[in-house]
Amino acid sequence: RVKLQLLYKASIHGFTGAAFHQRCDTRSPTVSVGYNASGYVFGGYTKQPFSQSGQYVHDDQAFLFTLSGKKLLRYPVTGPANAVTMISNNGPHFGEALILVNQSKPVVHSNPGNYYNFTAAEMHGNDLNLTECEVYQVEETTELERPWRTITWELLKRKELMEGIKTFKPTVGSVSQARVLLVGPVGAGKSSFFNSINSVFRGHVTSQAMSGCSSTSLTTQFRTYSVKAGREGKPLPIILCDTMGLEDSKGAGLDIDDISSILKGHLPDCYQFNPSAPLHSDTHGYRKSPGLKDVIHCVAYVIDACKISIMPSKLEEKLDAIRKKVNLMGVPQLVLLTKVDEACPLVKEDVRNVYKSGYIKELMQEVSARLGVPLSCVVPVKNYSEELELDMNTDILLLSAIVQMLRFVDNYFDELSDRLSKVATKEVEFR
């Protein structure tokens, strides 16, 4: 039972020794992984922390490895005194036998027999060009003695949550459905979250919103999704608004200026996003005088639990800018932490371990600090992605997230009511 925390990813942080050492020095134990275009996945493990001392380091537990299909080949260290070398201009450096990111270039140095016995053809197919290099810190997963949040994992609880969502009514009579905006990086699981909620109420796994794996956003339009209580059932009192994914580069992904238009209710359904130009008032379908039913009542940031530690700074800046806009408009915010099962083996074994996993708690604390929201506003979920049948515990986690959203929607209308009441009181006093 170990978890792998990604420290360094060359395609994001740079194929340089400096970038590698900046993120990996003093961290241990680690697994370093190289990838090439020939399909080989290979690297090494060491219990020793990296540094830039220029010295050899002793490690009798170090080994190299290569993955070929489902076959794993392991090459134990034969010269423990020279197991790892600490060179500033290189990436992971295993005793002159294997160097990833050699001389700050996306290449491999390979010299079999020097403290590790392997064949070059077997290790990397003689393809010395790297397409990617990653370094993970290896940590044991800790299971807490008792869950740090209370949740009931029973069929009756699932039914109770579903019924509570079906019967929810916004406190403002002019609004029949709460509007929740989903915002997050490409691939975080915004569309998958809607599909998962839709699946729970349909009674089987379904996929209405386009979702999947891509380096750019699969969602290119502003979509408003209403979930029905069963195939022929009535629409639920919540609309999930899906947006184009955020990207760290300028002029790509969702434009921050479009967020304001969405929050204010100006954007029409099926509006085609243009990353290089935000929405204008003369755009076809632009809602010039939106009502309270058209505005956003709650914002949910959808964040991939596996990618928090390598979130690019520019993406974090975008999220911070969005959060400030949302704050100014008085809209409550929460975070959906997705893919918790992929992040922690304890949760993969049993989703009921989500609040017993020390690692998931650490990730929730990290995303809380990075996005500037209280820990109580961070909710872990597992979307349906590869399953064909529903799972009660997964459903309960998903439904609990919707209930939390609806509670925040109530907060929005309560705050709105308080503001209107104060304005009315001041008008009376003025008269």
The reply to whether omega before 49 is within 30° of 0 (cis) is no
Q: In the predicted model, what is the mean pLDDT of residues 233-261?
A: 81
The rounded Cα 9 to chain-centroid distance in angstroms is 16
By the 10 Å C-beta count (0-12 exposed, 13-18 middle, 19+ buried), 198 is classed as: buried
Q: What is the DSSP string of 220-289?
A: -EEEEEEEESSTTPPEEEEEEEE-PPB-SSTTSBS-HHHHHHHHTT-PPTTEE--TTS---TTSTT--SS
What is the C-alpha to C-alpha distance for residues 310 and 318, in angstroms, rounded to an integer?
Answer: 15
More confident position, 185 or 271:
185
Q: In the predicted model, what is the mean pLDDT of residues 164-184?
A: 93
Q: In the predicted model, what is the mean pLDDT of residues 226-250?
A: 85
Q: Which of 140-144, 149-153, 197-201, 240-244 has the lowest mean pLDDT?
A: 140-144
More confident position, 350 or 68:
350
| Model confidence pLDDT, tens digit, residues 274-331 | 655 666 676 766 788 888 999 999 999 999 999 988 888 888 988 999 999 999 999 9
Residues 6+ apart with CB under 8 A from 61: 45, 46, 47, 77
More confident position, 227 or 335:
335
More confident position, 84 or 313:
84
Q: How sure is the predictor about 211, in pLDDT bands with cuts at 50, 70 and 90?
A: low
Residues 6+ apart with CB under 8 A from 58: 48, 80, 81, 83
* Predicted pLDDT at 215: 47
Q: Which of 138-142, 196-200, 291-295 has the lowest mean pLDDT?
A: 138-142
Q: Which of 107-121, 199-213, 247-261, 359-373 has the lowest mean pLDDT?
A: 247-261
Residue 421: pLDDT over 80 = no
What is the rounded average pLDDT for all residues in the chain? 89
Q: Note the pTM of the prediction, 2 decimals.
A: 0.76
What is the C-alpha to C-alpha distance for residues 157 and 400, in angstroms, rounded to an integer?
Answer: 10
Residue 424: pLDDT over 70 = no
Q: In the predicted model, what is the mean pLDDT of residues 23-39?
A: 95
Residue 379's φ and ψ, nearest 5 degrees, are -125, 120
DSSP 8-state assignment for residue 161: H
Element (H, E) at 193: helix 190-202
* Predicted pLDDT at 105: 96
* Predicted pLDDT at 192: 92
Q: Which of 66-70, 97-101, 164-168 has the lowest mean pLDDT?
A: 66-70
* Predicted pLDDT at 244: 79
Residue 428: pLDDT over 60 = no
Q: In the predicted model, what is the mean pLDDT of residues 240-268?
A: 79
* Predicted pLDDT at 247: 78
Element (H, E) at 127: none
* Predicted pLDDT at 242: 86
Residue 265: pLDDT over 60 = yes
* Per-range mean pLDDT, top range of 160-164, 261-265, 275-279, 342-346: 160-164
- First vs last C-alpha separation in the chain: 70
* Predicted pLDDT at 351: 96
Q: Which of 84-88, 142-146, 148-152, 284-288 has the lowest mean pLDDT?
A: 284-288
Structure tokens at 256: 């921050």
The rounded Cα 245 to chain-centroid distance in angstroms is 12
CA proximity to 243, closest of 296, 314, 198: 296
CB 223 within 8 A of CB 270: yes
Share of the chain above pLDDT 70, in %: 89
Single-letter code of the amino acid located at 382: K
CA proximity to 180, closest of 226, 218, 244: 226
More confident position, 345 or 17:
17
Structure tokens at 199: 């699946």
What is the C-alpha to C-alpha distance for residues 387 and 15, in angstroms, rounded to an integer?
Answer: 37
Single-letter code of the amino acid located at 358: G
| Model confidence pLDDT, tens digit, residues 57-80 | 999 999 999 997 678 999 999 999
Residue 207: pLDDT over 90 = no
Instruction: Tell me the three state secondary structure of residue 294.
Output: coil
By the 10 Å C-beta count (0-12 exposed, 13-18 middle, 19+ buried), 118 is classed as: buried
Domains in the chain with CATH codes: 2-140 (no CATH), 155-429 (3.40.50.300)
